[in-house]
Structures are given as C-alpha cells and as structure tokens.
Structure 1
C-alpha cells in the first residue's frame, strides 16, 4: 500500500478562521465530537419523529457523492445525515448558510465540529469557493448534503433549484442522490423557534450522474433541472403511497 502524505489543508489558519474555512479538516477531536453528535441525532429522530426510510439501496457504497432534498426545516440536514454509515457518515459535510450557522463563534463551533458543516454565504459565494468545494468533494472523497432551493420554504411548497448544484458535479463522475423529506415542515417550520414531535418520512431515489454535462452555466442549469424533477417525482410517489409497503427505520447505529 502506497501512503500519500500531505499537510492538512487548514494548517496555519487561526482558530476563528479555521471554523469558517472550506479547507477545514476535522482533526481527532472533531471526529470524536461528530461521532457522538451522530448518535444523539439518530436517537432523537427515532424517539421524537419516528423516522422511516425507503430506498436505502440507492445510497452509494462509498463516497464521493451528493445528497440533495427539498428544504423545509433545520431537521432536513439531520435527517439526511442520519442514514449514512461508515466512511460516508464520517466524511459527510452539510453545506449550511454562513449567516445562520457561522455568524457567531459559539454557533460556528457547533456547526463546524458537531455537524461538520461548510459555510455557504448567500449572495456572495465566489468562484473560488465553488472550485474549492468541487475539488474537495472528489479529492477528499466527501459526501455533501445540500438543498438546491437555497433556503427553507416558508409555505411548505418546494421552490426552483438553483444552478449551484451543477457547478459542483457537472462533468464529473460524482453521483447525486435525490431524496424527499415529508413531515419536517410540520415538525419544525422556519416560523418556529424549536421543533415539535411529528413523524418524518424520507425517500431516497436512484443516483443521477452528469459526467457528460458541460461544466458551464448552461450545464449547471440542466443539472439543477434534472435534480429538481427527480425530487418532485419522489415526492409524488411518496404521497401516492408507492413507497408505502417498504417503509422501515434507518439501519442500526
């Protein structure tokens, strides 16, 4: 086996800058904190939200890949992360709104080390940031959890997908796994400060691949459109009961 050693991507960064850096690496403490956090989240989702999952067979066996879904609640990222296991769980990074999760040092520490989130700043995501995210996805074999609508719905309806998802994967072999979450808006809509108990259902669809799509804006828009269609179709199937006979809890901790 050939070892390839390189300096940590965040080597030399001050502590505060490391929290908000797209080059942040978790370190031993971060790995331990995140493992504990994952256990607590899975317990919480089972106890308070009776989470049921369909389509686990569609998850790739190893990273890199991208999980996407409709976005109605802060429960969404927790729900998607809870079904990952092994290297996929350890390498998962939620792309979170910088203004919400990295605005203060305390919240940024939780976002960085418990949730393993990367900040995305609305309205000022630079090409360099997209290039960094795209490179890390493949080079570090990460799993990105993101919501192409760009923000949580305020009325429960899904908005159009933004082309940023295409900028991450167009022209690569990285699969995108479409998902749909039901029940999160009722349990924790943006208007509520804290969640309330309520059933969650997650449907996972077959992976999409865009290796033949050109990595430019027209290609990004095409990727976003295909992803949106896949998520909407999953939602339609879930509401019609197509998945009704295959619901089961997530795999064991």
Structure 2
C-alpha cells in the first residue's frame, strides 16, 4: 500500500497553494468544456472536520466536488491508482488516502480519522465503483466505522452528468454538462443517536437517500422537467 502521510501545517499550506493554482485552471476549463456549475456550498462549515459522502459516476468526481471549495478535501482512493507514475505522485502530494478495495486497512482509517480530527474534510464514495448509468448504487458500510470513532457530520453530495462526460473506458472528455449539489448535513448528534441504538443499517440507508436526493436535484438541473 502507498505510504500514508499526515497533514502538517507546512504541508497543508503547500497543499493549499497547489490546490488554489490547480483549482483556478480547472474552473476555467470545466466552465467552458463541461458548463460546470454547483450549488449548496452554504451547507458546508467554514472550518472543522467532516465526512463528505458522494455518489460515484466518473474519475472526475473528486475534482468536481473540490472545485468550488475554499479548502481541499482528502479523498479516499483505491491504492492501485498510486502505482500510476504521474497520477500517483500527484495523489501523494495532495494527501489522498490510499485504501485497498479488497480489505480496508487500519492505517487508512487512522489517517482518515486523524484528518477529520485535525479539522479537514475527508471524501468517500461508498458505492465503491463508478456507476454505468448515473444511478446511485448500493452503499458499502465501511465508512460507518469512521463515524463511530469521530464526532463529525455527514455532508451528502450529488454529482450528475459526469458519467456522460467521462464514461467508463473513455480516454477523452466529452462536451457534456455537469452539475454538483451539496446537500444539508446529517448532524453528528443524529448520527450518534443511530449508532447508540445499533441502527447502523438505517443510518446507511438515510445517507444513501440524502445522496440520491442531491443527485436527482443535480440531474434535474441539467434536464429540467417541463410542465404544461
């Protein structure tokens, strides 16, 4: 597994500078090529840690989610991506957390917990793999272990259009509109209530439904329903 590094103040400042530069370039490009737009950023806290849960349509998703934000997100990504020469170097510099698709390591979870406790966002795609048709698939429950060991809120996110802009097997970005909707958070207090009464399956489904609602709003933003 790729080496996991903690975010120090100096490294965080370096990462912020790199992200701001990269963000500016992407904002110009995505606004032109994908007609990219997002809404709901007001649901995110100005400071403090949290767990971002999103549907997964494309390799673009982490960039699309982080694009409108003023601070970076440490996404959990499969460890095989770190073996790709250029991409792996970039992922390490941006403190993406490697995780095995076969078995989540305790090292990965410790890194995610530490990031949240240090006041950073951690991003997870609980479907585990990209959707072929844009619909939200079944959620894997692994992220619930993070919630039991941290006192943070869940911030649901819906991505729409990314599976058309860069579908599975595609090597080139298509001229397709993309939208991202940041939904209302599931509070730490509510999460604790679910966990205290052993209702993790209910919490898992609640989270998935919140993500589905955000994804549907984003899709309707692209393709508004016309009424007579």
TM-score, normalised to structure 1's length? 0.75
CA contact (8 A) 1:70 1:231 kept: yes
- Which one of the candidate residues 8, 21, 37 is aligned to 2:4? 21
Aligned twin of 2:58 = 73
- Counterpart Cα distance in 2 of 1:121 and 1:179: 23
Aligned twin of 1:164 = 142
What SS is found at the alignment partner of 1:61? Answer: coil
- Counterpart Cα distance in 1 of 2:211 and 2:105: 27
Structure 1 220/83 Cα, relative in aligned 2: closer, same or farther at 3 Å?
A: farther
Aligned twin of 1:130 = 109
- Where structure 2 has 5 or more consecutive residues not aligned to the other structure, the ranges are none
Aligned twin of 1:118 = 97
Q: C-alpha displacement at 1:171, in angstroms?
A: 6.0
Q: How many pairs were matched up? A: 218
**2:75 counterpart of 1:94:** yes
What SS is found at the alignment partner of 1:161? Answer: coil
Q: C-alpha displacement at 1:226, in angstroms?
A: 1.4
Q: CA RMSD in A?
A: 2.6
Aligned twin of 1:150 = 128
Q: C-alpha displacement at 1:38, in angstroms?
A: 2.0
TM-score, normalised to structure 2's length? 0.83
- Counterpart Cα distance in 2 of 1:182 and 1:226: 20
What SS is found at the alignment partner of 1:50? Answer: coil
What SS is found at the alignment partner of 2:56? Answer: coil
Deviations 1:81-127 (A, max 9, x none): 01211xxx14x212111112x014432111122x4411111112123
